[in-house]
A and B are shown apart, each in its own frame.
Chain A
């Protein structure tokens, strides 16, 4: 399912950022996801304050050489994946 553009994603209980051997990871029950570049930028903005739309706009600025529509699609796919893992709540 695609997240609502005006909703505010935030990390679900028991999901948090961690670091290991200079590698940032998203820790969750029985699992850890490696975060690199864009995925880290996205997860750091899942703070309950940014809307999905704001996350997209900010990343389109950071990755200004990339096609904006592609940035949007990639972010929506990634947020949906995190939701499937139950790593996000949307307020």
Chain B
């Protein structure tokens, strides 16, 4: 329907990374390795202005995220500002800096949807992955959520050490008032890439989990919408990252840089613009970074002549850079990519450790810190 050469008129969703501060230290955090501190964060007024601009240009939804968005003392004002601007307001939270009073205020301010992240179905694994004790608090939040009217998603980030506990996670979702449960396998950028060798599940684990999740989708139909994302290293074709570069989403960092995706800052040579100095519409339509991989002109073979190029847009630019050294290359997870061998070698090491790696235990976790 939409030709890749046509300029997308506006993003559909805005991802507002309000802060990099977070009480958790998750080993797969999607924030960049270089975290921004509180002093450099945008203020309430600037965010309010961004939400108004976004709604005016046709954005439907905003994801208030971080870091931990509840680390912002002005979060109630920000929810109210986004809703008043006309946006559908999603809050993506660990639930840690939350109590019943604050929850009621968030909902009164216009929160539409709360997504609560879980590091597992049990305290031990959750504590190891997040480098902090947080699971019991999340269970308390689930009880408070039963008393209020808001859409609720439980988000489970999946990896080798918890992928065999999906039935327990489903049971947790069923015992809650959630209408949606998301099982998102870790994607390998930044912190997750640094910890990849301990996080990647085996193929047997993945196959079992997909069987479990497919049957849960049928069993829970009409009660809980079960969605899942597989690790793309195991896929035949790449994911249409962010729905295509500069096509559907715009991300604003805590300091106001406008990015086409979470990891875009790792790509050398891209110049990002700041919302403090230019309007969202100008950035979306004319900034070099948003234009760089929009459409098809930048593509190389095999993408350039591939029938799937308007479905997956050549996959993820950041992954192409990280695994092949060239951000314009075909995403190496694609079975048609000349560099697919690199991904296969990584999978071989995970699935047949005896033939490839001498180490029986993985490397130590690299935890993300909490910036000041």
Interface residues of A (CB under 8 A from B): 1, 12-16, 18, 20-21, 25, 27-30, 32, 83-86
CA distance A25 to B86 in the complex (A): 13
- Of chain A, the residue at the smallest CB distance from B222 is A83
Q: Contacts A85-B225, A86-B224, A86-B225 known; A13 to B150 CB distance under 8 Å? A: yes
CA distance A76 to B123 in the complex (A): 43
Among B115, B179, B221, the residue within 8 A (CB) of A12 is B179
Among B61, B86, B221, the residue within 8 A (CB) of A84 is B221
B322–chain A nearest beta-carbon distance, Å = 26
CA distance A1 to B222 in the complex (A): 8
Other contacts beyond A12-B151, A30-B61: 6, CB < 8 A: A1-B222, A14-B179, A27-B88, A30-B90, A84-B221, A84-B225
Q: Contacts A13-B150, A13-B151, A15-B151 known; A27 to B60 CB distance under 8 Å? A: yes
Tell me whether B349 is interfacial, beta carbon within 8 Å: no
Across the interface, which residues of B come within 8 angstroms of A20, CB to CB? 58, 60
Chief secondary structure at chain B's binding surface: loop
Across the interface, which residues of A come within 8 angstroms of B225, CB to CB? 84-86
Q: Are A29 and B60 in contact (CB under 8 A)?
A: no
Top 3 A-B pairs ranked by shortest CB distance? A14-B151, A86-B179, A27-B88
B181–chain A nearest beta-carbon distance, Å = 10
Q: Are B12 and A29 in contact (CB under 8 A)?
A: no
B365–chain A nearest beta-carbon distance, Å = 29
Across the interface, which residues of A come within 8 angstroms of B12, CB to CB? 32
Tell me whether B149 is interfacial, beta carbon within 8 Å: yes
Q: Are A84 and B222 in contact (CB under 8 A)?
A: yes
Interface residues of B (CB under 8 A from A): 12, 58, 60-61, 86, 88, 90, 112-113, 115, 149-153, 179-180, 221-225
Q: Are A29 and B151 in contact (CB under 8 A)?
A: yes
A3–chain B nearest beta-carbon distance, Å = 9
CA distance A20 to B88 in the complex (A): 11
CA distance A84 to B226 in the complex (A): 10
- Of chain A, the residue at the smallest CB distance from B114 is A14
- Of chain B, the residue at the smallest CB distance from A25 is B60
- Of chain A, the residue at the smallest CB distance from B179 is A86
A80–chain B nearest beta-carbon distance, Å = 8
CA distance A75 to B161 in the complex (A): 45
- Of chain B, the residue at the smallest CB distance from A29 is B113
Q: Contacts A29-B90, A84-B222 known; A13 to B179 CB distance under 8 Å? A: yes
Across the interface, which residues of A come within 8 angstroms of B150, CB to CB? 13-14
A23–chain B nearest beta-carbon distance, Å = 9
Among A1, A14, A18, A32, the residue within 8 A (CB) of B113 is A14
A12–chain B nearest beta-carbon distance, Å = 6
Across the interface, which residues of A come within 8 angstroms of B115, CB to CB? 29
Most chain B beta-carbon neighbours within 10 Å: one of A21, A28, A84, A85:
A28
Across the interface, which residues of B come within 8 angstroms of A30, CB to CB? 61, 90, 113, 153
Across the interface, which residues of B come within 8 angstroms of A84, CB to CB? 221-222, 225
Q: Are B221 and A32 in contact (CB under 8 A)?
A: no
B170–chain A nearest beta-carbon distance, Å = 15
Q: Are B58 and A18 in contact (CB under 8 A)?
A: no
Q: Are B221 and A29 in contact (CB under 8 A)?
A: no
Could you list some 24 contacts between A and B, CB below 8 A? A1-B222, A12-B151, A13-B150, A14-B113, A14-B150, A14-B152, A14-B179, A18-B60, A18-B88, A20-B58, A21-B58, A27-B61, A29-B115, A29-B153, A29-B180, A30-B61, A32-B12, A32-B61, A32-B88, A84-B221, A84-B222, A86-B179, A86-B223, A86-B225
Q: Are A14 and B112 in contact (CB under 8 A)?
A: yes
Q: Are A13 and B222 in contact (CB under 8 A)?
A: no
B347–chain A nearest beta-carbon distance, Å = 29
CA distance A15 to B152 in the complex (A): 11
Across the interface, which residues of A come within 8 angstroms of B88, CB to CB? 16, 18, 27, 32
Across the interface, which residues of B come within 8 angstroms of A28, CB to CB? 113, 151
